[in-house]
C-alpha cells in the first residue's frame, strides 16, 4: 500500500482525495492545508494525519507519494523540497510558472531518481484517449486540421483569488490553455511555428487566447477562455479533420463523420464513472481517477510514468510561455 501525503485541500485536492478513495494500492495518510477546516474535512474521510503547511508535511510525514494540489506559484518550492527528500511526486498542472523552474525540477528529478507525474489530465480523459489512439493507429489517415476549445465561466473558488493574479497562475493562457497545448503536443508533436492572439480584461490580464499551431501538413487551432458569464456552460470540445473522416466531440457526444458517407457515434465504456460533489466546472472524476490510478500502478510496478512525465509537461509549459511572450506577457501594465 502506497502512502500518500496530499498538500492543498482546495478544489483539486478534494478531487484527488475522492479518487484515492476508489484506488486500490494507495491511501491518503497525511494532509496539509493552511486552511485547517479544509484539511480536517479530507483527513476525517481518510483517517489521515493533519499538518499545518505543505513544508511541515514534507519534512515530517512518512509517505511514498507527495501529491501537490497547491496554487501554481507554490508548486516549484514544494516539489523541490519533496524531491530533495527522495519522494515520488504527483503535481498538478501547469507544473511550474517559468522555464527556469522547469529546468530545476527536471534536473532534481534526475539527481534524486524519483518518479514524477504531472496532472495533464486530458491525456487520461476517455474521449481524448480515444482520439490519440485513433490518430496513432492511422485508421482515418493523417490529421489535416483540428480545433480544440476549453471555455468556462469565471472560476470563483480559488483561495485568496490566486487564479486571477497573472503572476500566481500565469493567466488562463498558462492555466486552462495548458490542457490543450499539452494534448496537441501529445497528439501531433512540436509545431513548426504558431500565431497567438488574446483578449484581456481591464487590468491587462489575458482572459481568452487563440493560438494556431502550424505543422508541415496540418494546422491546429486552440481556444481557451474563462471569463464567460456565470450561466455559460463549460465547454471542452474538439473537431479533428483526418484524411478519411472528421471526428467531433461536442454536446452531441463523440461522433465520426466519414468522407465516403455515414456517421458513427462512439460509445466509450469508462474505466471509472462518478460525478463529483466538489463544485467547480468539472462533472466527472473519470480522468482524475485514471491519471492517479496510472501513477499508483506504475509506482507499484517499479516503472517510470510515460504518459505525462515531468520533462514532457515542462515542454508544454515552455510552449505556452512562448505563446504568452509573443503577445507581450500574461499581463500588460
Ligand X SMILES: NC(=O)c1ccc[n+]([C@@H]2O[C@H](COP(=O)([O-])OP(=O)(O)OC[C@H]3O[C@@H](n4cnc5c(N)ncnc54)[C@H](O)[C@@H]3O)[C@@H](O)[C@H]2O)c1
Rounded to 10 deg, the angle between the 99-112 and 310-326 helix axes is 170
What is the C-alpha to C-alpha distance for residues 134 and 206, in angstroms, rounded to an integer? 34
CB of 173 to ligand X, least distance (A): 12
Binding track over 144-173 against ligand X, x by CB under 6 A: -------------xxx--------------
Looking at beta carbons only, is 204 or 280 nearer to ligand X?
280
Least distance in angstroms from the C-beta of 93 to ligand X: 5
Contact segment (CB under 6 A) with ligand X among 30-38, 80-88, 195-203, 298-306 equals 30-38
What string of DSSP letters covers 109-149? Answer: HHHHT--EEE--GGGGSHHHHHHHHHHHHTTT--EEEEEEE
Cα 126 from chain centroid? 14
- Is residue 121 near ligand X by the rule CB under 6 A? yes
CB closer to ligand X, 121 vs 256: 121
- Binding span for ligand X by CB under 6 A among 2-10, 238-246, 295-303, 317-325: 2-10
Confirm if 32 and 53 have CB atoms less than 8 A apart.
yes
Binding mask 59-88 for ligand X (x = CB under 6 A): ----------xxxx-x--------------
Site membership for ligand X, residue 8 (CB under 6 A): yes
d(CA 263, CA 207): 36
For residue 278, what are the CA distances in angstroms to 193, 202, 318? 39, 30, 31
In the complex, which residue's CB is closest to ligand X? 10
Is residue 285 near ligand X by the rule CB under 6 A? no
Distance CA 227, CA 225 (A): 6
DSSP-derived 3-state class of residue 26: strand
Q: Which residues form the interface with ligand X (CB under 6 A)?
A: 7-13, 32-35, 38, 53-54, 69-72, 74, 92-93, 119, 121, 157-159, 175
Amino acid at each position: 500500500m502506497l502512502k500518500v501525503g496530499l498538500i492543498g485541500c482546495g478544489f483539486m485536492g478534494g478531487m484527488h482525495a475522492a479518487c484515492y478513495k476508489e484506488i486500490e494500492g494507495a491511501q491518503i495518510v497525511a494532509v496539509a492545508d493552511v486552511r485547517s477546516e479544509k484539511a480536517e474535512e479530507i483527513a476525517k474521510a481518510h483517517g489521515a494525519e493533519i499538518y499545518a503547511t505543505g513544508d511541515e508535511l514534507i519534512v515530517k510525514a512518512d509517505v511514498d507519494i507527495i501529491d501537490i494540489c497547491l496554487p501554481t506559484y507554490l508548486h516549484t518550492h514544494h516539489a523541490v523540497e519533496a524531491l530533495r527528500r527522495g519522494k515520488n511526486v504527483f503535481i498538478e498542472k501547469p507544473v511550474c510558472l517559468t522555464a527556469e523552474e522547469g529546468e530545476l525540477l527536471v534536473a532534481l528529478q534526475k539527481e534524486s531518481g524519483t518518479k514524477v507525474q504531472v496532472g495533464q489530465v486530458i491525456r487520461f480523459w476517455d474521449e481524448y484517449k480515444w482520439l490519440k489512439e485513433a490518430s496513432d493507429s492511422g485508421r482515418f489517415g493523417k490529421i489535416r486540421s483540428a480545433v480544440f476549445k476549453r471555455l468556462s465561466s469565471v472560476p470563483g473558488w480559488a483561495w485568496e483569488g490566486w487564479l486571477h493574479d497573472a503572476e500566481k497562475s500565469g493567466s488562463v493562457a498558462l492555466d486552462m490553455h495548458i490542457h490543450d497545448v499539452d494534448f496537441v503536443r501529445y497528439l501531433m508533436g512540436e509545431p513548426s511555428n504558431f500565431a497567438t492572439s488574446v483578449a484581456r480584461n481591464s487590468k491587462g490580464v489575458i482572459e481568452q487566447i487563440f493560438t494556431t499551431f502550424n505543422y508541415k501538413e496540418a494546422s491546429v487551432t486552440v481556444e481557451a477562455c474563462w471569463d464567460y458569464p456565470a450561466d455559460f456552460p463549460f465547454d471542452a470540445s474538439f473537431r479533428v479533420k483526418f484524411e478519411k473522416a472528421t471526428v467531433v466531440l461536442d454536446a452531441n457526444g463523440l461522433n465520426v463523420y466519414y468522407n465516403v458517407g455515414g456517421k458513427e457515434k462512439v460509445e466509450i465504456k469508462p474505466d471509472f464513472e462518478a460525478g463529483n460533489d466538489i463544485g467547480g466546472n468539472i462533472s466527472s472524476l473519470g480522468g482524475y481517477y485514471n491519471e492517479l490510478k496510472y501513477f499508483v500502478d506504475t509506482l507499484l510496478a517499479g516503472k517510470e510514468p510515460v504518459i505525462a512525465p515531468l520533462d514532457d509537461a515542462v515542454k508544454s509549459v515552455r510552449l505556452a510561455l512562448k505563446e504568452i511572450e509573443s503577445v507581450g506577457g500574461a499581463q500588460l501594465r
